[in-house]
Amino acid sequence: MMLHLLIFVIGCVLAGNSQDLLWGPYNPGVFSGFRSRDPELPTLSFLWHSFELNTSVPIRYTCDNEVALNGYGWTDFDPRLGGRHVVDDAGHKVIVETRFVKSPHGYVVRVQVDPKTPVSFLTYLHVDGATDSFDIHQGPDTLTVASVRKDYKFEVPSLHSFASFPVIEEHRYRATDVLAELIQLRLKKLQETYSDEEIKALSNAEYMLVPQILSPSANALFVQAIADKPFTFDISFVASKSAPQPVYVQKKYNDTLERIDQHFTDTYSFQAPFDTPEHRTFGKQVLSDLLGGIGAFHGKMLVDRTNRHVEVFDESALEDRVRPEDADEEGPYDLFTCTPSRSKFPRGFYWDEGFHLLPIIPYDIDLAAEILESWFSLVDEDGWIAREQILGSEARSRVPPDFQVQYPYTANPPTLVMALSSIIDQLHGFGARAEQSEFDEIDVYGEANTEMTTALKKVYPLVKMHYEWFRRTQRGEIRQYDRRSFSSVEGYRWRDRTATHCFASGLDDYPRAGVLNSGELNVDLLSWVGAFSRAMLKFAVYVGETEDAEDFEEDYNAVVRNIEDLHWIENENSYCDIAVVDGESVPACRKGYLSLFPFMLQLLDAQNPHIEAIVDFMRDPETIWSPYGLRSLSKQDPDYGTGENYWRSPIWININYLVLEALQKYGQEIKGPLHDKIMNVYRELRQNVVNTVYNEHKRTGYVWEQYDPDTGYGKGGKPFTGWTSLVVLIMNMPESL
């Protein structure tokens, strides 16, 4: 059965951004949701449920409802072209496939629903603006819907039932709640119209029909289809007067898949033993899911600036924090970003995002740069960027209250500058990348030219301000405890640490010094400052800021010297944090990922005498080596595998990726027996990590947040095609050095 839902959008232009990135599946927290980067334009999404009325299986809408799902995700996707998304819903016994294609004039979504039992499938359209509404006119077979305030209109077939109604702005995203209210309204009308015996005789489908409502001030619309056999319908946003014909849509879809496949092949060349068709298909799906997790977010953020300018921040300041209901709302802000996980973390995370962009840069450098620019547009007057971007009511509804408020003294690992550095590397000697499009003359991937350089020059002052904020607010105490080091200022301490957690570091429950003290110094933080200053040096040189470049070089050199002077502990043969106990400066060695930061961020000279000890440590199966990747904490640590066990044993792909990058660099620079040792560890680790992610995807259908070091099984959130998508770059690495 072929139905058609036609939506005309007239004159929708997003100033200052790529028009081919205007529309997309930019609501990643729902199974199938499409919206514009302009928050005033309509949001489209889908809901469905079977009529078996199984209360253990929720109505499908948001991705956090994963009960009885076989899997879901993008098999093919490119934000500039479109792609294919599939939900295999065992709980409701239906497969929902959405095919999304773009043209210069809009986009088309073809929805294919294959139920094994009667299903109710609902299209939900709403506007997020505070003042807009729909002007709806009912014809014999269709609804004609126009915007009261904006310049667009659309027509929809009435199908089985429809309802248009007003919903307050804060509740429009709560589609399942709105639907439940409508069904309750229908049941009430049934009770008023029919006897109890007549109502009992009604089928489940008749119970669940959306009541026919046409509200004069509607800003939300449900269109319902009920079927027990496969059916298909199109939804077309177009800037012309007629919708694309089905044959045209199918050709466009076929062209889209071909172009995605070709561009992926042109971008990535997986190396042995991963140069197989199966690994190529896997890699394309992982990248597609990463790109399909990009979101366009708009709204206000909760901020507590009570301790904004506290000079010596310690745990007592945590007691002054406000609850979400007492925090100030700031904004609204806009953010165009990838997301770590559509089910668990469907919003922007600062320390995740730099990793997200690394696989995207080779594929679409302009897209990566646009996302990077969006993040740096959030720099406030002090230079702060909130580590977690919880913008608006919908995003806030997915976050526990204790994590909703952001604090302007809290930092996060500055991974965005890794992406910035990678972009600059590609721009050096980077030729024209534009393609003569066969897809309606769209310039699909743009061109790395003077426009990119101009954009980078524009963002440079913001990044510099952020760098200065980072060093100023996280600076630690060196001379106060008679610590001897090359520099008296290049030592740092994460603010916002408690006895059990350091969320600012990104390593959450990874064990630190047992005694909290404002004199603590953190080796991972000093290493991140080193990576930041090195990236700023490269950035300053690229945009021609020579004097700044000299300052950044001085900062970098001082950091590298201080890493050795402050954090290398000879009798532990390891880099460690520094704590203060009874007024004395003492090492706090909790070996694991923390020990690797100077190495994996490539801050060590190839002649550094400690490299071999680090390589030996990571290859030791009694510490962090496992057949599936490097463990987060040494097996010898007393806290190994305890408590939440989030960063206390599991394997994290982002850290393993950084280690592999470092092994590759040092393996190419170092000769002799140490080279051979590094090469063997690199080759083994690369195979172990890829096999772990690939085999679990094959077994479960998902890419996972972390992996168990004893079994290789996935743990945490799924699908987690955030930084776990770095597996694509790992497969692209050389087999040997």
Residue 54's pLDDT is 60
Q: Is residue 272 in a domain?
A: no
Residue among 592, 591, 593, 537 nearest 560 (CA): 537
Q: Which of 569, 590, 611 is the last residue of a domain?
A: 590
Q: Is residue 470 in a domain?
A: no
Lowest-pLDDT range of 218-222, 455-459, 542-546: 218-222
Q: What is the pLDDT of residues 236-245, one digit of tens each?
A: 776 555 556 6
Q: Is residue 139 in a domain?
A: yes
Residue 52's pLDDT is 73
Q: Which of 536, 559, 590 is the last residue of a domain?
A: 590
Residue 162's pLDDT is 72
Q: What is the pLDDT of residues 232-286, one digit of tens each?
A: 888 877 655 555 666 778 899 999 999 999 999 999 999 999 999 999 999 999 9
300 and 426 part of one domain: yes
610 and 712 part of one domain: yes
Question: Is 705 one of the catalytic residues?
Answer: yes
C-alpha triplet 355, 660, 343: angle, nearest 5°: 35
User: The whole model's pTM is what?
Assistant: 0.93
Structure confidence at residue 646 as a pLDDT band (50, 70, 90): very high
Q: What is the pLDDT of residues 559-580, one digit of tens each?
A: 999 999 999 999 999 999 999 9
Residue 238: CB atoms within 10 A of its CB come to 19
- Find all residues with CB under 8 Å of 429, minimum gap 6, and list them: none
| Orientation of helix 593-600 relative to helix 653-669, angle to 10° | 40
Residue among 467, 459, 456, 425 nearest 551 (CA): 467
- Joined together, the tokens standing for residue 36 give 């514009």
**Alpha-carbon torsion angle 367, 372, 377, 383, nearest 10:** 180
626 and 652 part of one domain: yes
The CATH number of residue 96's host domain is 2.70.98.110
Q: Which of 508, 553, 565, 669 is catalytic?
A: 508
347 and 220 part of one domain: no
Point out which residues pair with 592 in neighbouring strands: 633
User: If phi over 0 gives left and psi between -120 and 50 gives alpha, with beta otherwise, what is residue 681?
Assistant: alpha
117 and 203 part of one domain: yes
Q: Which of 240, 264, 288 is the last residue of a domain?
A: 264
- Joined together, the tokens standing for residue 378 give 């959030």
Question: Is 278 one of the catalytic residues?
Answer: no
Q: Is residue 270 in a domain?
A: no
Average pLDDT over residues 424-436: 57
535 and 622 part of one domain: no
Q: Is residue 469 in a domain?
A: no
168 and 106 part of one domain: yes
Position 150 pLDDT exceeds 60: no
Average pLDDT over residues 627-641: 99
- Joined together, the tokens standing for residue 417 give 């500058």
620 and 586 part of one domain: no
User: Rounded mean pLDDT of the chain?
Assistant: 88
497 and 418 part of one domain: no
Position 289 pLDDT exceeds 50: yes
Position 472 pLDDT exceeds 80: yes
549 and 420 part of one domain: no
What residues make up the domain containing 528?
Answer: 475-590
Number of domains making up the chain: 4
Q: What is the pLDDT of residues 27-46, one digit of tens each?
A: 999 999 999 998 888 889 99
Count, in order, helices (H) and strands (E) of the chain: 17, 26
569 and 637 part of one domain: no
691 and 733 part of one domain: yes
Q: Is residue 282 in a domain?
A: no
Position 502 pLDDT exceeds 50: yes
Q: Which of 66, 577, 705, 708 is catalytic?
A: 705
Q: What is the pLDDT of residues 36-78, one digit of tens each?
A: 998 888 889 999 998 875 667 789 999 987 778 999 999 999 9
User: If phi over 0 gives left and psi between -120 and 50 gives alpha, with beta otherwise, what is residue 701?
Assistant: left
Q: Is residue 367 in a domain?
A: no
Structure confidence at residue 14 as a pLDDT band (50, 70, 90): very low
Q: Is residue 285 in a domain?
A: no
